[in-house]
Structure 1
């Protein structure tokens, strides 16, 4: 089909634009090369994988698929290439037109990515980039009657806001997460510390999948001079080199914006019973460069235990046994990612059976989804809508409806005429 051909060409165009994307992601989003390069690969993988899924939609015996007319994609700023383009590519694969409203801090990243897709043959009137504020214009996009679906990657509060604007909205949302990494006495401590750093401080902790809590089980949680694991973790956190995304030696980059509200509280204020093992510090006048923080004594049910802070702060909890650690891991109200470090097969099996997360990681970092092999998505407070995981086999199919009947071939080319009129109306400035 023509749609699949165009999507494969889009993947090749993104690969060719890798250098431009790396540059704009570093300058605008503060991403280090180590963080940005895999994200570009993920966007390429979305294009080629969704091309294959497009071919399947008109080949289901006894079923007919009708694509959504227009899909609005409202991505975050922390993955400024893979998430916005992934949502748009999925809509295009379904046969829909897409309106992409990028996050304000990373507009240029979206512009470079969309330009690559247009150069690959995606019609400009079928994929439109709209720079709009999150207030009245954003509300008009979400509530327009021609919009059949909205893709959101953002906070639980934003998902609730969208639903308040339009209760019947077909919303596909990946929302907040408060993710924990559990370490048991049977773990490899060196590997656990290394993965804890990657999970908590990659992209300065500005990932919905980042580990914000480390739950040390039994002897792992020993304090003071007897706590080898704690000492090793403290040394590792202190050793992280912080710098701008353009610094090739930086391990942790800057915040996208100076911290405020919840993140500022997490960086500067301890809760009752807590203490700093490594106190975070502002490193320059911009307010965006901060050293990483490690807080000890996080109590079950406390503010830091249950609140997503979205920044470079890791909270340490000390559990009696694995069951208590799992209970604390599940008690945040979210269910996005979670990790376990253990070399005991029985512990791993027990944890996998009882942990309440969409993506479970064993003896590895809690971040970094892989298209097709490791689709991404959560449950509980971390998802709103059908729940199909991005990069998975059912993601594209949710952008349309199914009915009984002989398979009817979807349009061989991406929709243009009707979409042009609809999208022009959506993108028109307010009077």
Structure 2
């Protein structure tokens, strides 16, 4: 509580000190990542840089938590951070530092395969805490058994939030232990790169191989599929380039600085063993994966030369399953439309790539592809803090969906409460608002007292400002010229439910945010809405349901089975919302595909618009061999 009560600026100073402490341990962190998890030096080095970037970035964005007009941020008391082994420095540091920046105490439970990396990261952060006179107890490193003790930790009622990076199945397991667990998770990926006939095939081959086999393919962002369109699929030259690039990779021990591909974390088993040894009907090896015969004893059965399988068919295991190892599948498509359909067919939506020099291709792909991180004419791994905030769509994300290393990540690490509004201002009027929203407010005016109307108008104006400054823009966050790093928001389907004690202005406030975001929304309430409001909502295509809590929950369950809205916004008093959230979680058995937003309703557009929007990061290489490539700028 004492840590959370500190001003965000004071917490930021500790994170800045943590950045310096991590940087000072660069050599030690590289060594321990290599020796413990098999990271080659080049990849471990950039991981340290990413950890430092997380510390500096969250130090800056934490200050914004204290500057949101109309809402006050309340930190979670205790956050459990459970990172993976494949990024043993950057991801653990990012999760721990984010929770600390948001004012939470942290229990840090590392992956068993990366406990020594976790110890060095923790020591660096402890050093920063010592320097600020903050007790080390704020950050507890716990190396516990992943069975019974791990379950007790995750499901403990004292845990307010869990930050997970791991598989979707792990997220589902956590929710099976505690169905109402507040979980923010970056999960699995099955990522594809589309190569169009207009692409520079030499560069495409290089980036496909680098994206597929970096860290032996053990990245959730790795290219697991390459979808070759039209004549690219028949190009013998492109096939030779893939073969040459793959076979020339130096597979070696992580202690050798020349190694480009290191060992897998353990001898292949299950899905990965199948992927390395078994072909499906119609497939054949373009490059057959094989174990390195002269590997040192400590890496026996763990060092594999990468493989490429061709003839992958739609709907096959290779098309749909994540293998997490050095295997690339090749698919063929006759058109971009077919390629996008194959790319979107998987349950995940983490990273996606496109190689093309055709503006029409880029425009269509950006409109239709379903993934959180998009890459054009470059590799699809190696996201950079702020420049390419990281996080996916669909089953690649559980919870609020805000991206690590992005502008909204800390916003979801606590709760938000309304603040008292200021004195009414004669300069505030409806003329500055979207006509859809003015129509809705005017229809509701007879059902509102003056204070309710003024509060609602204040919220609508806050939405307009937030939309203009943040959510309605496509921003180039780096301005590098030779690389466009764009950040944008896309509307998402949301089911809004009001409890029996929900204040009428609060229900309207949430509806106004949904209208502003522009996605599909349903509104459910236990009592009927005023006829004028219902008529306007109907004209806007927003269905209104009058039903009990049980009827609404049953409809949400049916909608989930049919692929309906994966987000819910609850509106009402704290006790009623908590009870409804619990009932929904129990009925859906903690479904990780369902994200529930239960914050108190505020006037802050910065907070209220987020449930209605997906984040998407786009990175476009804007040059060829140093020559500016301006056609993509026209598309954006």
Match of 1:204 among 176, 192, 216: 216
Show the counterpart of 2:10.
Answer: 2
Asked if the contact 1:61/1:406 (under 8 Å) is kept, the reply is no
Computing the radius of gyration over CA atoms, which structure comes out larger, 1 or 2?
A: 2
Aligned ranges for residues 353-372 of structure 1 at < 5 Å? 353-372=367-386
- Residue 99 of structure 2 is aligned to residue 91 of structure 1: yes
Partner of 1:349: 363
Q: Distance in 1 between matches of 2:287 and 2:67?
A: 57
Q: Which of residues 139, 150, 153 in structure 2 aligns to 1:127?
A: 139
Give the aligned partner of residue 247 of structure 2: 238
Counterpart contact for 1:74–1:151, Cα < 8 Å = yes
CA distance in 2, matches of 1:63, 1:355: 34
Pairing partner for 1:336 from 320, 327, 350: 350
Listed as ranges, the matches of 1:278-289 within 5 Å are 278-283=287-292, 284=295, 286-289=300-303
Matched residues in 2 for 1:237 and 1:53: separation?
Answer: 41
Question: Please, which of 16, 28, 31 is the counterpart of residue 36 of structure 2?
Answer: 28
Distance 1:298 1:132 in 2: 41
CA distance in 2, matches of 1:163, 1:393: 27
Partners of 2:140 and 2:357 in 1: CA distance: 49
User: In the alignment, which residue of structure 2 is the partner of 1:264?
Assistant: 273
Which residue number corresponds to residue 171 of structure 1?
Answer: 183
- Deviation string, structure 1 residues 29-65 (Cα, Å, up to 9, x no partner): 1111111111111110110111112211122122111
TM-score by length of 2: 0.63
The secondary structure found in structure 1 opposite 2:81 is: strand
1:306 maps to which of 320, 338, 345: 320
The Cα of 1:406 is off from its aligned counterpart by 5.9
Q: Deviations over 1:299-339 (max 9, x none)?
A: 00001110000000000111111111110000011100000
2:471 aligned partner: none
C-alpha distance in 1, partners of 2:225/2:84?
22
- Residue 44 of structure 1 corresponds to 52
Aligned pair count reads: 404
The equivalent position to 1:317 in structure 2, one of 331, 345, 357, is: 331
- Secondary structure at the counterpart of residue 57 of structure 1: helix
SS in 2 for 1:141: helix
The answer as to 2:116 corresponding to 1:108 is yes
* Residues 24 and 406 (structure 1), Cα distance of their counterparts in 2 relative to 1, 3 Å cut: farther
Q: CA deviation at 1:120?
A: 1.7
1:315 match: secondary structure: strand
In the alignment, the residues of structure 2 paired with residue 353 and residue 63 of structure 1 have an alpha-carbon distance, to the nearest angstrom, of: 33
Is residue 2:409 matched to residue 1:395?
A: yes
Match of 2:238 in 1: 229
Q: Return the TM-score normalized by structure 1.
A: 0.92
Structure 1 distance, partners of 2:32, 2:281, is: 42
Q: Within 1, Cα distance between the matches of 2:289 and 2:210?
A: 17
The match for 2:226 is 214
Whole-Å separation in 2 of the counterparts to 1:112 and 1:137: 23
C-alpha RMSD of matched pairs (Å): 1.1
Q: Which moves more between the two structures, 196-205 or 282-291?
A: 282-291
Equivalent position of 1:71 in the other structure: 79
Give the conservation status (yes or no) of the 8 Å contact 1:274–1:298: yes
For 1:406 and 1:369, locate their aligned partners in 2 and report how far apart those are by CA, in whole Å: 40
Quick check: 304-313 or 112-121, which moved more?
112-121
- Give 5+ residue unaligned stretches, structure 2: 1-8, 422-636
SS in 2 for 1:192: helix
